[in-house]
A and B are shown apart, each in its own frame.
Chain A
Amino acid sequence: MAGRNPVTWLGSPTFPKAAHIALGDTQLRSNLRKATTTIRTKRAGVVAELDDWERLRRAGEAIKDSVLADLDTYLSRLEESVTARGGVVHWARDADEANRIVLDLVRAQGAEEVVKVKSMATAELGLNEALEEGGVHAVETDLAELIVQLGHDRPSHILVPAIHRNRAEIKNIFDREMPERPASDEPRDLAEAARRHLRRKFLSAKVAISGANFAVADTGSIVVVESEGNGRMCVTLPETLITVMGIEKVVPSWQDLEVFLQLLPRSSTAERMNPYTSVWSGVTPGDGPSTFHLVLLDNGRTATLADRVGRQALRCIRCSACLNVCPVYERTGGQAYGSVYPGPIGAILAPQLSGDLHDEQVASLPFASSLCGACYEVCPVRINIPEVLTHLREQAVKAKGKRTPEAIAMSAAAWVFADPKRYEAMQRAGSLSRLLARDGRISRLPWPGSKWTATRDAPSIPEESFRAWWRRNRE
């Protein structure tokens, strides 16, 4: 569909429908449960080690908020610094523009294959597909991302895109897609097979594409943090490096990084420090790529910034801690969200970046939460996800209009609650429901109550409300 923002995958069903499929997949549920439980426990452990965690969170929140308040200033400063160090800065309004810029740059180098370090921004753009259409094959080098790519699959987690796959499934994918089959489904053998496969790609690639975790405005330095070192290979070996970065990733100075380099690894991989932190500033003759391009991506971000409540989503540092604690994500997995951004953060980020709450699938995302608040509790930059969820629900409801059965029922309920006398009359009328009950419980209600009673008994309304009892005994 022309003009559609690819933040959400075209043709994805609404969340409840996608969840229905996921919930029926017992292998998926067991994989997810195991993975999220492990990482959740580890994260809680390493966070508890720091007695200033709350202060760090508040510092991260404050830095991000001050950047967002003066984003234009910091981005101009970043552009100047990158340019002064021999890099070239490009600005992209949306996915189409960003994809075209990257494709043109790759073509100018005459490359038919590029290596990529895992990047949420380029996944958000559908860059790989756009390059493929333009005759360029992009090779994902992050192990989990490679599994997803070779499996012709979609990611289901921000940090661990193949979290929904177990070892046996990965072995099958590698057997099918790699020239050399892995020796077994032991993690070591799987990693070794991927290493041999990727080594050939690294050594032949002329162009690499990366995302960025942070960019330092003062010095024009781009920062990528990772666990495997494949990103390090990407940003150092090829001659040309193209980085695509959301505009919200800028931080003012090196001093600010200190906060995030503590918050990010502990929140994401539950490590005190991530194994590889790569930083580069423009180009350095004789060392690393000779050409560096930075594509600064908007794609719905300035529109998000304009929303007073919703803008806090732009603080996100993509740690995925909210996914790992979310009881909804744990049951449905990430693909049910129909976007590269799944889980609680996806439920607020995807609708805002796509900017279209008239779309049925997008509008279902803010409702994919029980509002339990576990996501807000773990977020290292204190994004009040439940607050944004209810804010977006309001917009989704407005987009649907006032004539839906739900809107009419809600208006009726508000009308009843607005007057204690009406409310009491409704209690008396409702108490007749006890005639449906056996042993004080109701096992079958008409729609939409049937959605409740499919798996749960409902209480019957007793003959006397507390209010009526109070009136009889105390007034």
Chain B
Amino acid sequence: MTGPRVALFATCLTDTLYPETARAVLTLLERLGCTVEFPLAQTCCGQMHFNTGYAGHARPLARDYAAAFDGYDYVVTPSGSCGGMVREIHPGLCGTSPAVERTYELSEFLVDVLGTIDVGAYFPHRVTYHPTCHSLRMLGVGDKPLRLLRAVEGLELTELPLAEQCCGFGGTFAIKNAETSTAMLADKMNAVQDTGAQVLTAGDNSCLMHIGGGLSRLRAGIRTVHLAEILASTEEEPWPVGTR
């Protein structure tokens, strides 16, 4: 039996800054029987340009995306915001394409396409989960990430207060309105610290970069780990976390 032929859309942020997340997606999907490829023609979905007011620059990037990911059964990305950009915004920029229609955020792909909740993961830590805005409101992933986390052996899930409030990243918002962004981050960090969790996870490295950057500055001792890395971790091969 051969599984679906899946293209991994790593996103520019993960490819460049967090390669371990992309390797985790690869490990996880291969463990679940998928054939995974990484089309080297991929770069960026154009979200930063589009959201900052440069739709003209985002348009060719959206076209390149459609071309790079044409011909796969599915495209899977470990990012709610980039997945949201592709599914919700690309059609308005350059029309829809098979690549756009087959793009899934990781937790959606696992639950909706592979029909899996228990991916055989083992992660013996106390974890809290931040539902990132775009996965929540653009893609509507709902509680899929939580269902996946609850099925992870050894993992103790603690609820994050006011979880659905934005962490204040917002791409260039974090620079353009740095002080407001920082005020939002401060509240998010307080909430994370209140949970007593050792690990904060989410389905988007951009939000984790923001919250993790703040926690690191505070020397809060809480690690940020992408959901994919938790799901890739097994008892035989624990995922090496702790580098950020």
Using a CB–CB distance below 8 Å, which chain A residues touch chain B? Answer: 15-16, 19-20, 23, 29, 327-328, 331-332, 366-374, 376-377, 390, 393-397, 406-407, 410-411, 413-414, 416-420, 423, 427, 430, 440-441, 443, 448-449, 451-452, 454-459, 461-462, 464-467, 469-471, 474
Contacts and interface: CB of A to CB of B under 8 A. Distances in A.
A305 B176 CA distance: 29
B216 A372 contact: no
9 contacts: A328-B180, A331-B184, A414-B57, A423-B44, A452-B174, A455-B182, A456-B174, A459-B212, A467-B15
Interface of B: 10, 12, 14-19, 22-23, 38, 40-44, 46, 48-55, 57, 60-61, 64, 133-134, 136-138, 164-166, 168-171, 173-185, 209-210, 212-214, 216-217, 243-244
Given A461-B16, A465-B19, A331 B61 contact: no
B23 A454 contact: no
B166 A374 contact: yes
B24 to A, nearest CB: 10
A413 B180 contact: no
Nearest to B61: A417
A456 B43 contact: no
Contacts of B168: 327, 370
A32 to B, nearest CB: 11
Contacts of A452: 174-175, 178, 213
B48 to A, nearest CB: 7
B48 A413 contact: yes
Given A376-B137, A397-B52, A410 B178 contact: no
Q: Which of A367, A407, A454 has the most chain B CB within a 10 Å cutoff?
A: A367
Contacts of B43: 416-420, 423
B22 A370 contact: no
Given A327-B168, A410-B54, A23 B40 contact: no
B177 A16 contact: yes
A56 to B, nearest CB: 20
Contact of A19 (B16, B48, B177): B177
Contacts of A467: 10, 15, 38, 40
Contacts of A430: 16
A396 B209 CA distance: 28
Contacts of A368: 177, 180
Contacts of A411: 57
B15 A466 contact: yes
A368 B182 CA distance: 14
A382 to B, nearest CB: 13
Given A371-B51, A448-B175, A466 B10 contact: yes
Given A372-B133, A373-B133, A393-B53, A418 B176 contact: no
Nearest to B55: A394
B175 A451 contact: yes
A328 B187 CA distance: 12
A273 to B, nearest CB: 28
Contact of B22 (A396, A414, A417, A466): A466
Contact of B17 (A366, A390, A461): A461
Given A370-B166, A406-B52, A456-B213, 8 more contacts: A23-B183, A328-B184, A332-B180, A367-B176, A449-B175, A452-B174, A455-B217, A469-B19
A459 B23 contact: no
Contacts of A466: 10, 14-15, 19, 22-23, 38
B178 A454 contact: yes
A430 B19 CA distance: 14
